[in-house]
């Protein structure tokens, strides 16, 4: 069975999705919808996609006109929920960029109609496909570090339109109505998803501090969130659009710690020294990043789930929990 795929949003992340689907032998790229006709045509020519829909209602036209099996959603955040709802109505399997929604109301609209259909839904949490996280998870699950007491995840880059080349002149990331939030909604959803993958569900957010430090925008470009997991582990997520690119994960337990530089520039550090004798820690120290695309791995997994009719993670619920975490943190901003 060849899956007919349509893309909504022909920007920089849309191109990444197209690369993944174009390399999968079970997929055929049928159509592109973009608010900007020029971007859609460039993508259609590059990937030999026959149908192009342009304009603000392009995604509606595409879903009404084409008989698609799959919709990949890479539009600005405020369009994610409306497109998801329309795709569900049209019985399309869905891969959606994060965040999958920007409000509790949107999540509440999506969940019941999605549950009523037998559709595969993936949230585009491609970081899960970095093999280093499975090594870290093994160290946790096997009790090598003892009871995990606290974790810290730091993630930063130069910010939108500096860390990657924008195809559009519209800087919607800095528009609160279209983005739904700032750096926490952009980078923080990845952090909390990985931490929940490693440690289980978070319980509650305890506090937030934030600044608008380097970008002329209403929402935050620097942010720290304190929170607690259901297993009582304490968590700290720090995200920024104002720093050198950096991504680190520190995990502390009653028997030891590991600190991982996810950029791969530095080897993991650990303690105490005798942990090096452990096979999992040795594998973590020996790990070398590859050039394999985590996004392509996610897309291949998504396609396989459709073909085998088996919903796996990262699913709608994973995307929902990440958005709920950010919205709970934002509630502290309002109270302050």
**Residue finishing a domain among 65, 95, 119:** 119
CA distances in angstroms from 246 to 46, 265, 269, listed in the order given = 32, 10, 16
One domain for residues 112 and 132: no
Would you say residue 75 lies in a domain? yes
At residue 228, the pLDDT reads 98
Angle (CA) 161 164 169, round 5°: 40
Q: For 244-255, what is the mean pLDDT?
A: 97
Would you say residue 296 lies in a domain? no
**What total number of domains does the chain contain?**
2
For residue 309, what are the contacts with CB-CB under 8 A and spacing of at least 6? 118, 120
**Would you say 247 and 155 are in contact if contact means Cβ atoms under 8 Å apart?**
yes
- CATH code assigned at 178: 3.30.360.10
- Write the pLDDT tens digit of every residue in 90-126: 999 999 999 999 999 999 999 999 999 999 999 999 9
Helices (H), the chain: 12-23, 37-47, 58-65, 80-89, 104-115, 131-141, 176-179, 183, 189-199, 279-286, 294-308, 316-335
One domain for residues 98 and 63: yes
pLDDT band with cut points at 50, 70 and 90 for residue 335: low
At residue 85, the pLDDT reads 98
* Distance (Å, whole) CA 7 – CA 26: 16
Residue 242, preceding bond cis, omega within 30 degrees? no
One domain for residues 165 and 240: yes
At residue 263, the pLDDT reads 87
Is pLDDT above 70 for 165?
A: no
**Would you say 17 and 7 are in contact if contact means Cβ atoms under 8 Å apart?**
yes
* Distance (Å, whole) CA 316 – CA 120: 9
- CATH code assigned at 95: 3.40.50.720
pLDDT band with cut points at 50, 70 and 90 for residue 336: low
**Residue finishing a domain among 119, 146, 172:** 119
Provide the 3-class DSSP secondary structure of residue 157.
coil
Residue 6 host element (H or E): strand 3-8
What average pLDDT does the chain have? Answer: 95
* Distance (Å, whole) CA 94 – CA 92: 6
Q: For 81-96, what is the mean pLDDT?
A: 98
* Distance (Å, whole) CA 319 – CA 291: 26
**Would you say 144 and 255 are in contact if contact means Cβ atoms under 8 Å apart?**
yes
pLDDT band with cut points at 50, 70 and 90 for residue 169: low
Q: What is the span of the domain harbouring residue 98?
A: 3-119
Please give the model's pTM, rounded to 2 decimal places: 0.96
One domain for residues 145 and 247: yes
**Residue finishing a domain among 87, 119, 151:** 119
Q: For 288-317, what is the mean pLDDT?
A: 96
Q: What are phi and psi of 116, to 5 degrees?
A: -80, -10
């Amino acid at each position: 069975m060849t899956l007919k795929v349509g893309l909504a949003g022909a920007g920089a992340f849309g191109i990444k999705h197209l690369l993944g689907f174009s390399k999968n032998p079970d997929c055929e790229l049928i159509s592109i919808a973009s608010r900007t006709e020029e971007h859609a045509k460039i993508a259609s020519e590059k990937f030999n996609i026959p149908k192009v829909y342009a304009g603000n209602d392009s995604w509606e036209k595409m879903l009404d006109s084409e008989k698609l099996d799959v919709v990949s959603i890479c539009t600005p955040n405020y369009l994610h929920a409306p497109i998801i709802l329309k795709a569900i109505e049209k019985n399309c399997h869905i891969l959606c960029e994060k965040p999958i929604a920007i409000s509790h109301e949107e999540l509440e609209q999506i969940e019941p109609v999605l549950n009523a259909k037998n559709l595969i839904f993936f949230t585009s949490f491609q970081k899960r496909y970095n093999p280093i996280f499975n090594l870290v998870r093994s160290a946790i699950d096997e009790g090598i570090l003892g009871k995990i007491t606290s974790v810290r995840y730091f993630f930063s880059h130069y910010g939108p339109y500096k860390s990657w080349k924008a195809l559009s002149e519209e800087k919607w990331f800095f528009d609160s109505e279209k983005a739904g939030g700032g750096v926490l909604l952009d980078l923080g959803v990845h952090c909390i998803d990985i931490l929940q993958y490693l440690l289980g569900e978070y319980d509650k957010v305890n506090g937030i501090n934030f600044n608008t430090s380097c970008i002329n925008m209403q929402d935050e470009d620097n942010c720290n969130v304190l929170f607690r997991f259901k297993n009582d582990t304490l968590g700290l997520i720090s995200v920024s659009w104002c720093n050198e690119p950096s991504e680190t994960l520190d995990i502390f337990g009653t028997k030891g710690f590991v600190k991982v530089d996810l950029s791969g520039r530095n080897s993991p550090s650990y303690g105490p020294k005798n942990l090096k004798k452990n096979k999992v820690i040795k594998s973590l120290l020996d790990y070398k990043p590859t050039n394999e695309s985590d996004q392509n791995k996610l897309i291949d997994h998504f396609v396989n789930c459709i073909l085998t009719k088996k919903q796996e993670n990262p699913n709608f619920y994973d995307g929902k929990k990440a958005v709920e975490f950010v919205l709970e943190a934002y509630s502290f901003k309002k109270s302050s």
